[in-house]
Structure 1
Amino acid sequence: MSDISLLKKVPVLRDVPDDQLQWLLDQSQTSHYKPGDYLFSKGDEIDKLQIIVEGEFSIKIEQNGEFRSVATMKEGDLTGNLPYSRAGSAFGYADASAPSTVISVHKDKFKEMIREHHELTTILVHTMTSRVREFTKQQQQNEKLVSLGKLSAGLAHELNNPASAMTRSARELKEHLSLLPENFKNVISIRMSDEQVDHVNDLLFKKVEEYGSRTLSLSDRSSQEDEIADWLEDRGFEDGYEMADVFVEFGFSEEDMDVISENVSEKDIPSVVGWLYSVMTTEKLVIEIEDSAERISGLVTSVKSYSHMDKSSDFGPVDIGKGISTTITMLNHKLKQKQITADLDIPENLSQITAHPGQLNQVWTNLIDNAIDAMDQNGLLKITAEENLEYLIVHIIDSGSGIPEEVKSQIFDPFFTTKGIGEGTGLGLDSVARIIRAHKADISVQSEPGKTDFRVCFSKNNKSK
């Protein structure tokens, strides 16, 4: 083939001198592909520059026997080996989705190209660096989306629980307060001395102050509710059991109820007990609303800490323990779903390291999320940290089935995953390894059935930027 018009259709080659394009064409082999034909397959050596001059290819990766499309190469795209490239073997498959034509040049011709054809070499090297930059940018974006996907569903669940509780308590409080005008009529009709009022008030304030400080067994609570319900029904209350639940929750016993009857006339007992019930119900609902608001506020604080929304993206002093604890909070829904126990053994006085906080949170998210996925119900997740004069070491240990020996060497490879389509992208541990390298740190794994230990080792003298 002597016509260079096909190469002129490739955008990055348009400004290359014709004689250099002719040389490229003279060294090339032209191949034609029907739909479904493979340009390359997983594991094939990347030893040729390939220029797609017509058609289209879909790049796919395999996950547990299923294929997932990750990119498309169209007319004018370059793939394969390029000058100074260190590419080894293909990580996936490229099959033609339309009739396609590809011009290929073996890497053996690159030395002559570099020596004799500088414009062509410059264009191809620039193409390679741009490709690496774009791939890295896309990979980082994918990693962020993966991390967001892991956290968003659980975060929505974690926020929905206290929000629903707050809405429910607010609705009950509104209904309860609507009854106050009627209760007020009963209260103002009460005839009690100041001393009697003080006795009742002191008892109430004591119970409110102690609210939540004691825990009853189910049988003890049931027994006390029965006693107080009987006490109330003996005095004409029709909803004795409903009221007894609130009195017992605030720590009232039958003896406390007798204290009330000793200081209140028989005709005023319904009004006084009704007033006590009203005050405690209001207090209980307000406390529930306050607790829910604090839970939501705590989750928002964790999100801000996790994403470092209030801080720059530069390297700086990082508290490893705080980052891991925040990540545990963000993944708490998954721990609860599997009833996994999280055991954190991280010293409070652990030294800070120089790191990028957001990137380290991605590391903890991927390692902890993988550990949770690896375990069955009622597993144990143990996270420890230790340090010496030179290094700070974090261990993330799960009680799962372990990593098969035959795949252990591949777990940090891009797109490698043992999970099915939709369950994992294969970018998690690749992302972890890349971030760890950027921090001049080290990651290793030891695995056997019942114990997999990911060990992350940071230099305390790291000056990464």
Structure 2
Amino acid sequence: MKIIDKHPDLLATLSKFDIFDGVAPEAIQWLIDHAEYRLYHDAETFLKSEEPAEHMFLTVKGTYLLRFRQGNEFRDINESGSGSVTGLLPFSRMKKYTGYGIAVNDLEILALHRDCFVEMARVSYELTQNLVATMSSRIKTFTEQRLQEEKLMSLGKLSAGLAHELNNPAAALVRSADELYQRLHQSPERFKSIITMRVTPEETDALNEILFAKARQGPIKELSLLEREDCKDELLDWFEDHDVDNADDIAETFLDFGLHLSDAEAMKAALNGKELNAMMWWIESTLSMERLVQEIRESADRIGSLVGSVKVYTHMDQSQDLQPSDLHEGIRSSMIMLKHQFKEKGIQVIKDFDPEMPLVKVFPGQINQVWTNLIDNAIDAIPATNGVLKVRTYTKNHKAIVDIIDNGAGIPETVLNKIFDPFFTTKEVGKGTGMGLEITRRIVLKHHGEINVKSKPGETIFTVCLPL
């Protein structure tokens, strides 16, 4: 940094800036006379985070970059040029700078010390008003930009979670449909072999009775690995004795549907001594297609359930007014959106829900964002092994209370009172904007509620209280 002489035409230059619109030339000259004229070369820092806020900076010539720290890295916000104001402003409560101002090229700045602010207000109300209004507008724009970034990141997480959850049922549906297609193309040959057997209606009815009796019996008893292998060996020996081809595939399908050696014997008896090979293949094909259709139905139901969860989560099919809502339904939907993250980290999820919890009047789409932000933060904090997330609900003092508890390392006491501040984050660049908890707090306050946090190593509890 170098203090340089003020140009004779500095008044004419400043008078052209929008910030001095309606300000008398005498007031602008007062600012020039009382400010220090500084030159910063490219990459020099004129404003440093955590340093005492002592000056207001007015850019006369050049460009600077605003930069904020996120965790152990830095995030560049925007560039500003001639006529822009940053640093401390009149009537501001700022004690320390919250970011960094870095010259992009040679930067000429007027630096006015805070000790001059009182006199400036006496000299020109218009000048003071313009400075405050301009910076307030910049803060509003900056905040809106960061809020938009946070919403986009939330949307990205929602999209990633939904895509991840949809991937499995969609892949299963395609896989089952392909296999069903292949089996249908094999059916003509098998049908031909069945027709040549000249099976009577009575024999067909007997076989159907065996098959449908199994279908009506309800859930199939799950066999242990040893039990399944024993049953399979029995079937394989039986098929070999009766010259049944592809016995291994048929045996697997039989066991999947709970058919054992006694059922194979019953089928043989129903056919009255006719050749078994073609019939066993026909039965296996019929059962396999039944299984594939069931898998397709289950996959489609799962996709429908996920889409339904998204509708509940976003509340896009209802009005945006306060509505009596089941908080548990919103929490469950939020968990579904983040389910893939639970799986990736092997997190144990405990839901301790109050069955008597009454409906609560909320803006459902907004309150679901609260659960998502808090649960997502908990997932980040939870260790890679033996992670536990607990969500507890109860009522107290005519309030609905939701506790979100994780067994992570905890929040350091030095930053505990800052976590709801705008732009404060301990996450790396790209993993958070520092607005998630601030947005969460704002939504809770909009509902006339409260949000608090208690933390120690191994237990962090975020508590949301909503009036009933």
TM-score above 0.5, yes or no: yes
In 1, Cα distance between equivalents of 2:147 and 2:77: 14
Q: Which stretch of structure 1 is more off in the superposition, 395-404 or 144-153?
A: 144-153
Q: 2:61 aligns with which of 54, 73, 83?
A: 54
SS of alignment partner, residue 216 of structure 1:
coil
In 1, Cα distance between equivalents of 2:367 and 2:101: 34
Does the Cα contact within 8 Å between 2:170 and 2:299 map onto a contact in 1? yes
Q: 1:387 aligns with which of 380, 388, 395?
A: 395
> How far has the Cα of 1:331 moved from its partner?
0.5
> How far has the Cα of 1:320 moved from its partner?
1.5
Aligned to 1:310: 317
SS of alignment partner, residue 406 of structure 1:
coil
In 1, Cα distance between equivalents of 2:180 and 2:38: 76
> How far has the Cα of 1:138 moved from its partner?
1.4
Aligned to 2:241: 234
In 1, Cα distance between equivalents of 2:144 and 2:281: 66
**RMSD over aligned Cα, in angstroms?**
2.4
In 2, Cα distance between equivalents of 1:311 and 1:80: 45
Q: 2:342 aligns with which of 304, 313, 335?
A: 335
Name the TM-score, length of structure 2 as normaliser. Answer: 0.90
Q: 1:456 aligns with which of 430, 450, 464?
A: 464
| One-letter amino acid of the structure 2 residue matched with residue 435 of structure 1 | I
> How far has the Cα of 1:116 moved from its partner?
4.9
Aligned to 2:449: 441
Relative distance call for 1:332 and 1:234 in structure 2 (3 A) is same
Does the Cα contact within 8 Å between 1:199 and 1:263 map onto a contact in 2? yes
Q: Which stretch of structure 1 is more off in the superposition, 170-179 or 113-122?
A: 113-122
> How far has the Cα of 1:349 moved from its partner?
4.1
Relative distance call for 1:91 and 1:231 in structure 2 (3 A) is farther
Relative distance call for 1:89 and 1:437 in structure 2 (3 A) is farther
1:278 aligned onto 2:285: yes
Relative distance call for 1:66 and 1:396 in structure 2 (3 A) is same
Does the Cα contact within 8 Å between 2:245 and 2:277 map onto a contact in 1? no
> How far has the Cα of 1:368 moved from its partner?
1.0
SS of alignment partner, residue 397 of structure 1:
strand
SS of alignment partner, residue 179 of structure 1:
helix
Q: Which stretch of structure 1 is more off in the superposition, 376-385 or 44-53?
A: 44-53
Structure 1 runs not aligned, ≥5 long = 461-465
SS of alignment partner, residue 267 of structure 1:
coil
SS of alignment partner, residue 52 of structure 1:
strand
Instruction: For residues 171-227 of structure 1, give each alpha carbon's deviation from its aligned partner in whole angstroms, at most 9, with x where no partner exists.
Output: 111010001111221222344454433222122123234465432222222322222
In 2, Cα distance between equivalents of 1:210 and 1:250: 10
Q: 2:436 aligns with which of 402, 421, 428?
A: 428
Aligned to 2:3: none
Relative distance call for 1:390 and 1:131 in structure 2 (3 A) is farther
Identity of aligned residues (%): 41
Instruction: For residues 346-369 of structure 1, give each alpha carbon's deviation from its aligned partner in whole angstroms, at most 9, with x where no partner exists.
Output: 234422333332332222122111
Relative distance call for 1:140 and 1:65 in structure 2 (3 A) is closer
Q: 2:24 aligns with which of 17, 31, 42?
A: 17
| One-letter amino acid of the structure 1 residue matched with residue 388 of structure 2 | L
Does the Cα contact within 8 Å between 2:244 and 2:280 map onto a contact in 1? no
Instruction: For residues 406-443 of structure 1, give each alpha carbon's deviation from its aligned partner in whole angstroms, at most 9, with x where no partner exists.
Output: 33233333333333333333333233233333333222
Does the Cα contact within 8 Å between 2:453 and 2:460 map onto a contact in 1? yes
Structure 2 runs not aligned, ≥5 long = 1-5
| One-letter amino acid of the structure 2 residue matched with residue 405 of structure 1 | E
1:359 aligned onto 2:366: yes
1:265 aligned onto 2:272: yes
Matches within 5 A, 1:36-435: 36-210=43-217, 212-375=219-382, 376-435=384-443
Does the Cα contact within 8 Å between 1:382 and 1:397 map onto a contact in 2? yes
> How far has the Cα of 1:252 moved from its partner?
0.7
Instruction: For residues 6-59 of structure 1, give each alpha carbon's deviation from its aligned partner in whole angstroms, at most 9, with x where no partner exists.
Output: 323423324433233223333322222112222211112334332112112222
Instruction: For residues 80-125 of structure 1, give each alpha carbon's deviation from its aligned partner in whole angstroms, at most 9, with x where no partner exists.
Output: 2334433342222111121111123334444444455343334334
SS of alignment partner, residue 284 of structure 2:
helix
| One-letter amino acid of the structure 1 residue matched with residue 270 of structure 2 | N
> How far has the Cα of 1:329 moved from its partner?
0.3
In 2, Cα distance between equivalents of 1:338 and 1:179: 43
> How far has the Cα of 1:275 moved from its partner?
2.1
Q: Which stretch of structure 1 is more off in the superposition, 176-185 or 417-426?
A: 417-426
Q: Which stretch of structure 1 is more off in the superposition, 63-72 or 288-297?
A: 63-72
In 2, Cα distance between equivalents of 1:412 and 1:52: 32
Relative distance call for 1:357 and 1:19 in structure 2 (3 A) is farther
In 2, Cα distance between equivalents of 1:87 and 1:374: 30
**Residues paired across the two proteins, number:** 460
| One-letter amino acid of the structure 1 residue matched with residue 464 of structure 2 | V
In 1, Cα distance between equivalents of 2:310 and 2:356: 24
Relative distance call for 1:425 and 1:125 in structure 2 (3 A) is closer
| One-letter amino acid of the structure 2 residue matched with residue 392 of structure 1 | A
| One-letter amino acid of the structure 2 residue matched with residue 409 of structure 1 | N
> How far has the Cα of 1:404 moved from its partner?
2.7
Relative distance call for 1:352 and 1:39 in structure 2 (3 A) is farther
In 1, Cα distance between equivalents of 2:325 and 2:116: 49
In 2, Cα distance between equivalents of 1:355 and 1:131: 32
SS of alignment partner, residue 75 of structure 1:
coil
In 2, Cα distance between equivalents of 1:331 and 1:340: 11
SS of alignment partner, residue 52 of structure 2:
coil
Aligned to 1:463: none
Q: Which stretch of structure 1 is more off in the superposition, 451-460 or 430-439?
A: 430-439
SS of alignment partner, residue 76 of structure 2:
strand
Instruction: For residues 372-402 of structure 1, give each alpha carbon's deviation from its aligned partner in whole angstroms, at most 9, with x where no partner exists.
Output: 1222223111101001342111111112222
In 2, Cα distance between equivalents of 1:378 and 1:224: 38
SS of alignment partner, residue 415 of structure 2:
helix
SS of alignment partner, residue 204 of structure 1:
helix
